[in-house]
Chains A and B, each alone.
Chain A
Amino acid sequence: MAMLNTVLGDIDALDRLSSRGGIANRIDPRAMLIATALFVLAVVSYPKYEIENLLPFFVYPIIMISLGAVPFGVVARYLLIASPFAVMVGIFNPLLDTREMIVVGSISISSGWISFISILLRFSLSVSGALVLLACTGYVRTCAGLAGLGAPRLLVTQFLLLYRFVFILADEAYRMARAHSLRSRGARNPGVSVFASLAGHLLIRAYDRGLRLHQAMLARGFDGTLRTNRELRWKPVDTLFVVVCASFFAALRFGNVSRTLGELVMETQR
């Protein structure tokens, strides 16, 4: 439970990084969303055994992390936290796909290992892209950006409320877990019946809290649309940002930057 609270606290901290006012924080959220979508699209569009052409894509998150003054350690930590999902997706590839693909010296590497590494690379790139978006833009501005790009208002409102609800749920869960641990004589496993009761109570309490929040929103004129005072203003620099990002991703995707760079280096050495 304490770990869940820590993770949520960190997400909140990451979100708050967006209010620092750095160069990356000033980019219009719509521009950031377009760039992130193009980035993820380019990364996932490669065939399953691709590795070398994925590596140059790390330039984008690295540059954005630097511009947004986001601590590298925070992004690395989240990648680690989320990595079990990617590992679970690809862990059986080396066992099932044993065809020899590359030979490095006397070691042969199977295509299963290559596809597994490719999955990990794509995962790292996509997640770091999303983290960069959150840290540079902030959750609320990202949602405002989604609305600005034409996403249904209802969906955007749901996203915004979901973010708040996750914290409410965690808060209630933390209180219940604390109450349980105080009376459980150190027993970590509550048992099925107690666990079922805890889960049921958690849902009811979170639902009640949600209702009270909704009442508070209604009392202040909420009509189904969540309005914010963060007005979106598309500036020429946002257009430039999207054009530069799109050109960069296209160059990486449709050209072989790794090979070209390698050949250049080899030629210089000759």
Chain B
Amino acid sequence: MSHHIVEVKDLIYRYPDGTPALAGVTFRIEHGESVGIVGANGAGKSTLLSHLSGCIIAQSGLVAIGEIPVTKKTLPDIRRAVGTIFQDPNDQLFMPTVEEDVAFGPLNMNLPAEEVERRVAMALSKVNALHIRKRPPYRLSGGEKRAAAIATALSMSPDILVLDEPTAALDPRTRGLLIDLLHGFTHTKIIASHDLDMILDVCKRTIVMYKGAVMADGATEQILADIELLHRSGLELPMRMQSCPKCAGKDKES
């Protein structure tokens, strides 16, 4: 079985105060798929992603990456397979320089120094951030921070990329660059976002979450064109589908 397959079955999670966050989530993501997870605030998107990266262990139900169930014992394997990019890049970057931050994961994998160096260079060049390798992360622009955060995950050569709101707080140009970048990755991608236009651009499949459960799961073009479904789940049509002349023009061009 491929390590790229993600299986979630009857996943239930309650916060310590008893508030239900996930109520029986089930889906399966195949090798190489790009899947968007959309939903209103509090729908359970980030909690679901935290389960996929092993930051939260399932209270009930199953989360498996390939044939490996996500448990405390399997965390080293899970973290090697799943690269997580958090919503706020400031939460992801904590070393004195970008280079050291990108090397953090490979070093924890006990790779030899030359291999660490090679992976750092590879990851930074993939996100066009080689020029900032010596800079301290907190002095970077929002787009540079995002690029560096993605590089920190790529340097671990993960099979699956899990991204939480990757376009949040990015200017339109940087957002466009990020979308191009995401198109270039052949990894299995799971992207939670409110940016439905980006989901439309990057993901072939979309899962709609509502109050901790899967409300719909299907082809992105169909899901994001379903006004009633979007309204019921607290979402709106992507800008491109709202007869916006500018976006419509862009659509025609593409």
Contact = CB atoms under 8 A, between A and B. Distances in A.
A153 interface: no
Contact of B96 (A138, A222, A223, A227): A138
Contact of B156 (A218, A220, A227): A220
B165 interface: no
A164 B136 contact: no
Given A140-B100, A212-B86, A221-B79, A229 B55 contact: no
B251 interface: no
B54 A216 contact: no
A103 B233 CA distance: 87
A139 B96 CA distance: 9
B11 interface: no
Contact of B117 (A12, A217, A229): A229
Interface string B98-117: 01100111011100010011
Contact of B53 (A138, A139, A219): A219
B100 A228 contact: yes
Contact of A213 (B50, B91, B103): B91
Contacts of B80: 221
A247 interface: no
B107 A216 contact: no
Contact of B113 (A138, A140, A231): A231
Interface core residue of A164, A227, A230 (most chain B CB under 10 Å): A227
Interface string A1-23: 00000000000100110010000
A16 B80 CA distance: 32
A223 to B, nearest CB: 7
A207 interface: no
Interface in B114-159: 116-117, 120, 134, 136, 138, 152-153, 156
Contacts of B55: 215, 218-219
B206 interface: no
A229 B111 CA distance: 11
7 contacts: A15-B96, A140-B95, A212-B88, A218-B79, A219-B54, A227-B107, A228-B107
Interface of B: 50, 53-55, 75-76, 79-80, 82, 84, 86, 88, 91-92, 94-97, 99-100, 103-105, 107-109, 113, 116-117, 120, 134, 136, 138, 152-153, 156
Given A12-B136, A216-B94, A218-B79, 12 more contacts: A19-B97, A140-B100, A213-B94, A215-B50, A215-B55, A218-B55, A220-B108, A221-B105, A223-B108, A229-B103, A229-B107, A231-B113
